[in-house]
Amino acid sequence: MSNMENLETQLSEKERQAAVYEAAMRSIQLENIRREARGYAVLSSALGYGEGALGNGKFGKVTHAAKLFLIAFAFLAPSLLVWHVLL
């Protein structure tokens, strides 16, 4: 094998490594962008839910009724459990 053929294989290997490196870096950047977009989507949905739940529309009324039901259940469940288990 001559020195020129050895040099060609080294250059092609460096080109292959550079291409793999670029692809990996692009993949990492895309994953970071996706993760950031997911965070924005979660925050946007939470803010949208908060604004909708506090409004005077149908969703706000349903949310308020659900809150009242859960509060009543939290107060009644322990006493009902005591009656069922101890009495």
Percent of the chain with pLDDT over 90: 47
pTM: 0.49
Structure tokens at 34: 């996706």
Please name the residue ranges forming H helices in 1-87.
3-53, 58-86
- Rounded to the nearest angstrom, the gap between the alpha carbon of residue 49 and the centroid of all alpha carbons in its chain is 16
Instruction: For residue range 16-32, list pLDDT tens digits in order.
Output: 899 999 999 999 999 99
> Which residue carries 């092609």 as its tokens?
12
Nearest to 7 by CA among 15, 60, 69, 52: 15
Q: Block means of pLDDT (10 residues each) for the chain, length 87 residues?
A: 62 86 96 95 85 82 93 94 87
